Amino acid sequence: MQLLPARVSLWYFGDPIRECTCSASSIMRYQKRISGPLLDRIDIHVEVPRVDYEKLADKRNAENSTTIRT
C-alpha cells in the first residue's frame, strides 16, 4: 500500500518492476512521518498486485455497467 503526497518522490518504492532510487534514509524519514497518527486511523491494509496501465485501459474484455451491477 502506498499513500504518497505529491511532494514525495518515493514513486517506485515497493514496485516489483521499477527500482526505487531513494536512499534508505529517505525511505525511513518518510515512513516515520506517516507512521503514527495516519496509520492509527487505517483499519485495513491490503496489498494488491501491480496492474499495467495497458491492461487497465484495454476495453476488449471490459464489462459493461449492467453486468457489474448484477
Q: Please give the Cα distance from 50 to 29 (Å, whole number).
A: 25
Task: Give residue 2's pLDDT.
Answer: 56
Q: Give the residue ranges of the chain where pLDDT is below 70.
A: 1-10, 35
Domain limits of the chain? 1-70
pLDDT at 8: 54
Q: Are 10 and 26 in contact (CB under 8 A)?
A: yes
Cβ atoms of 27 and 13 within 8 Å: the answer is: yes
Question: How confident is the model at residue 24, as a pLDDT?
Answer: 87
Please list, in sequence order, all residues whose beta carbon lies within 8 angstroms of the beta carbon of residue 1, skipping any fewer than 6 positions away. Answer: 45, 46, 47
